[in-house]
């Protein structure tokens, strides 16, 4: 009888003793009891897709130049615009304001997201700069400008870090390709749930690293997109077009030399400073034209330019300066660009992209909407059937 009671007692106490042992073992193995517990990235719903109403909206945020938050002063702001009280927090407020007003499906941060010379900790600066996107759980993609790496992280480290942040769809580089730089990748926007094209990319987004600074024949110049990147771009576009001739948009930071010529050929918006590009023309425009799917390119870098102009059938659009720590012009409001794509409605389901439009929002009292324009519209002569390709590659 006593033996049976002892057995029962051991059976009761054994799990408790084991738990205590495991706790003790964990304490011994963990040399830092204050270390943060590992957490899983909050992922965006993938693939990204058009909404049930057949629309997809992208918010372009160009040149935030974020520093250290409240301690980082604004540049080129009029006294009635905040003056000495103005800081990085004004940039954060503007981003929150635009997200609430537009409810974008994707935010594209197109470089100089942080200003390395003012950011004492690059990771901390990035977390603060991007925080509104994470707060509102908006998927976002980012590329690098020419200032991001000037703080405490390399360009590779920055892209890796951003790819691991909550709701980020950014990628360091495409798998299976050896390309120059960091932040070259493709994102496909699929058809809405319930549509016949739910598993098909109807809008393709290409992101490219345009570099920072380089030296050519002993002379300093801005970076440029290299041939390995263009080779990947051509191959990716060709593969995607085997299934559907979908329109594509391209995002990179530093403009190409041909953008300068838009001063003479016409543009919509403000052309207020010289185009700061590389002295090297690497054939980006010729590549984009030859691909056949690119309808528009979205740029940053030159904060006082916010215009769109057409080069060989492709619109090149500046985002305009967004950040308050970036250079600007007093009484010229900071601004953001919106890119709005709509699908064509068929008899039974949503079909291919019908139009791509854009406009800008100013950080003024009314959040003014300006310079609305259509960048591309599907030809009325095309049909849903002849958009698809037939043959073994389809």
Residue 130 lies in a domain: yes
The DSSP bridge pattern shows strands 248-251 and 219-222 to be unpaired
What pLDDT score was predicted for residue 381?
39
Residue 155 lies in a domain: yes
Residue 271 lies in a domain: yes
Total residues found in the chain within this entry: 394
Sign of CA dihedral 105, 133, 188, 110: positive
What pLDDT score was predicted for residue 391?
33
Q: Return per-residue pLDDT of the chain as tens, 394 residues.
A: 555 555 655 555 566 666 665 666 565 555 565 666 677 899 999 999 999 999 999 999 999 999 999 999 999 998 876 777 899 999 999 999 999 999 999 999 999 999 988 999 999 999 999 999 999 999 999 999 999 998 999 999 999 999 999 999 999 999 999 999 999 999 999 999 999 999 999 999 999 999 999 999 999 999 999 999 999 999 999 999 998 999 999 999 999 999 999 999 999 999 999 999 999 999 999 999 999 999 999 999 999 999 999 999 999 999 999 999 999 999 999 999 999 999 999 988 999 999 999 999 999 999 999 999 999 999 853 433 333 333 333 3
Helices 284-291 and 227-240, axial angle in degrees (round to 10): 10
Three-class HEC string of 161-176 = HHHCCCCECCCCCCCC
**Domain coverage including residue 226:** 55-377
What pLDDT score was predicted for residue 394?
30
Residue 27 lies in a domain: no
- The b/e string for 110-144 (b: 16+ C-beta within 10 A; e otherwise) is bbbbbbbebbeebbebbebbbbbbeebebbbbbbb
Strands (E) across 217-328 are located at: 219-222, 248-251, 294-299, 308-311, 314-318
Q: For residues 350 and 344, is the Cβ–Cβ distance under 8 A?
A: yes
Q: For residues 108 and 141, is the Cβ–Cβ distance under 8 A?
A: yes
What pLDDT score was predicted for residue 389?
35
**Cα-only R_g, the chain:** 25
**Phi-psi label, residue 346: left if phi above 0, alpha if psi -120 to 50, beta otherwise:** beta
Q: What is the DSSP code string of 209-225?
A: ---SEEEETTEEEE---
Number of domains in the chain: 1
pTM (predicted TM-score): 0.87
Q: What is the DSSP code string of 180-193?
A: SSS--EEEEEEPPT
Q: For residues 293 and 240, is the Cβ–Cβ distance under 8 A?
A: yes
Residue 36 lies in a domain: no
CATH number at residue 140: 3.60.21.10
């Amino acid at each position: 009888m006593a033996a049976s009671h002892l057995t029962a007692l051991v059976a009761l106490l054994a799990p408790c003793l084991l738990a205590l042992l495991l706790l003790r073992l964990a304490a011994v193995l963990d040399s830092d009891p204050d270390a943060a517990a590992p957490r899983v990235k909050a992922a965006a719903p993938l693939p990204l897709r058009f909404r049930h109403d057949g629309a997809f909206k992208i918010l372009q945020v160009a040149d935030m130049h974020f520093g250290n938050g409240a301690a980082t002063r604004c540049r080129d702001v009029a006294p009635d615009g905040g003056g000495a009280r103005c800081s990085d927090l004004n940039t954060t407020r503007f981003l929150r304001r635009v997200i609430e007003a537009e409810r974008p499906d994707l935010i594209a941060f197109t470089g100089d997201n942080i200003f390395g010379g003012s950011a004492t900790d690059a990771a901390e600066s990035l977390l603060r700069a991007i925080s509104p996107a994470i707060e509102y759980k908006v998927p976002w993609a980012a590329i690098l400008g020419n200032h991001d790496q000037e703080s405490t992280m390399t360009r590779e480290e920055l892209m890796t870090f951003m790819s691991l942040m909550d709701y980020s769809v950014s990628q360091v580089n495409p798998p299976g390709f050896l390309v120059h730089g960091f932040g070259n990748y493709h994102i496909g926007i699929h058809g809405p749930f319930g549509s016949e094209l739910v598993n098909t990319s109807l809008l393709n987004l290409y992101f490219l690293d345009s570099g920072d600074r380089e030296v050519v024949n002993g002379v300093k110049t801005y970076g440029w997109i290299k041939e390995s990147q263009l080779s990947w771009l051509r191959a990716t576009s060709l593969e995607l077009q085997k299934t559907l001739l979908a329109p594509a948009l391209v995002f990179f930071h530093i403009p190409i030399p041909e953008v300068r010529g838009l001063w003479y050929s016409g543009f919509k918006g403000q052309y207020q400073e010289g185009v700061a590009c590389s002295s090297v023309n690497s054939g980006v425009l010729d590549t984009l034209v030859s691909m056949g799917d690119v309808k528009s390119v979205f740029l940053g870098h030159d904060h006082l330019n916010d215009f769109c102009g057409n080069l060989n059938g492709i619109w090149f659009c500046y985002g305009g300066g967004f950040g308050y720590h970036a250079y600007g012009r007093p009484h010229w409001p900071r601004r953001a660009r919106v890119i709005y794509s709509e699908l064509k409605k068929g008899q039974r389901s949503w079909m291919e992209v019908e139009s791509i439009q854009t406009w800008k929002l100013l950080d003024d009292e009314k959040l003014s909407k300006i310079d609305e324009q259509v960048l591309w519209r599907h030809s009325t002569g095309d049909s849903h059937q002849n958009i698809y390709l037939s043959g073994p590659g389809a």
